[in-house]
Amino acid sequence: MKLLVFVISISIIVLFLGDANGEVFGNTRKLIEKANSNGPYLGVVIPNLFEMNPLLNYPEYKATNLVIDIGGRRFRFGSIGEKQVILVMTGLGMLNAGVTTQLLLSLFDIEGVVHYGIAGNANPSLNIGDRYGNGPENELPLEAFGDYTRDLGYLKIANYSTDLGTDNFLNNIWYQPEEIFPVDGTPEERQHAFWVPVDPTYFELAKNLEALTLEGCLDADTCLSTPPKVTTVEHGTSASIYLDNAAYRSFIYDKFNISPVEMESAAVALISYQQRVPFIVFRALSDLAGGGEHSNEADTFTPLAANNSVKVAVEFIKLIPIQNKISSVVGI
């Protein structure tokens, strides 16, 4: 069975309730205890407002009046179908995603985690909106919303090219597994994980969505060239960098069979896996990372990708049985 998995590329710092949340006292603690008495909940972890707002406005999401703010994060309570959910926005990047997921799992009674959003794509066999060869003078997708910036500069690999048959100043990059310390393991006795498998029960449920009809048009005149579809992939990757390099995209696809390329999922996966909480990731591919041969469609169709990712996440949550608490993955 193929599993949707994510390679870990940086270390993650996590916060624990007893160590890092001194403000969790008084009324806030009472709110948490009251909320947990009505659990368990499904945690829905979302990178940013651009991807969360479509869910907040989705007809099948019903918000309650309960909102708990802790450590700069806002935990929103509601329901999707018959499932109680807690929504939380991480912010961009691996560190934010790891911290937020750990807070969610440390503070609340969580039976599983669903993470969704948009992603770049490294798999040339998957048809999506292409981003054609942007240079440093071209605005990045979502830059206008404050998600990405060119202010800090960039690395142009071509500046370090040398004659064929010789090396260059970049030398080598060696990929490493993450050290992990599972909640059911011995403290300070490390294990390792390079690929993090999603929960097999969640994965089997997700296969039911492959026939789901997605939106292919923004309006009557603006449509994707190929109808979007739901599919499973073998590997994805996360790193706190914006990947805009066709050669590197091709390398990670050829080396690791990578499809989605984004900035948060691996952190959500790693924390959930260490805590033995079932999780799954849905990512809508919005562009071919590093550019393709067609016109620049990423800016146009990114909202469509966000809306489709919400639809898939909602339909998946509705499939999770109410009466059973799904067991977590064990072993590495």
For position 328, what pLDDT does the model report? 39
Question: In the predicted model, is pLDDT for residue 10 greater than 70?
Answer: no
AA letter at 62: K
Parallel, antiparallel or unpaired: strands 178-180 and 61-70: unpaired
For position 246, what pLDDT does the model report? 80
**Residue 160 pLDDT level (bands cut at 50, 70, 90):** confident
Give pLDDT tens digits for 86-100: 999 999 899 999 999
Q: Is the pTM value of this prediction over 0.85?
A: no
CA angle 12, 261, 296 (to 5 degrees): 140
Query: Of 141-145, 173-177, 320-324, where does the model show the most confidence?
Result: 173-177
* Mean pLDDT over the full length of the chain: 81
For position 145, what pLDDT does the model report? 67
Mean per-residue pLDDT for 220-230?
A: 84
- Cα distances (angstroms) measured from residue 36 to each of 190, 218, 250: 31, 40, 46
For position 285, what pLDDT does the model report? 84
CATH of domain 24-121+128-135+178-246+256-319: 3.40.50.1580
d(CA 197, CA 194) in angstroms, rounded, equals 10
d(CA 272, CA 267) in angstroms, rounded, equals 8
Mean per-residue pLDDT for 20-30?
A: 68
AA letter at 130: D
d(CA 92, CA 225) in angstroms, rounded, equals 29
Query: Is the backbone peptide bond immediately before 321 cis, with ω within 30 degrees of 0?
Result: no
The helix/strand/coil state of 148 is coil
The helix/strand/coil state of 76 is strand
Give pLDDT tens digits for 267-300: 999 999 999 999 999 999 876 655 555 444 566 7
AA letter at 261: V
Mean per-residue pLDDT for 95-114?
A: 96
d(CA 102, CA 199) in angstroms, rounded, equals 18
Neighbours of 330 (CB within 10 A): 8
Question: In the predicted model, is pLDDT for residue 190 greater than 90?
Answer: no
> Which positions ≥6 away from 42 have C-beta within 8 Å?
80, 83, 84, 85, 86, 110, 111, 112, 113, 114, 317, 320
> Which positions ≥6 away from 141 have C-beta within 8 Å?
131, 148, 286, 287, 298, 299, 302
For position 330, what pLDDT does the model report? 34
Greater model confidence, 23 or 263: 263
Question: In the predicted model, is pLDDT for residue 2 greater than 50?
Answer: no
CA angle 47, 51, 52 (to 5 degrees): 85
CA angle 284, 312, 332 (to 5 degrees): 75
Six-digit token string for 146: 């404050």
Nearest residue to 257 via CA among 280, 275, 232, 279: 232
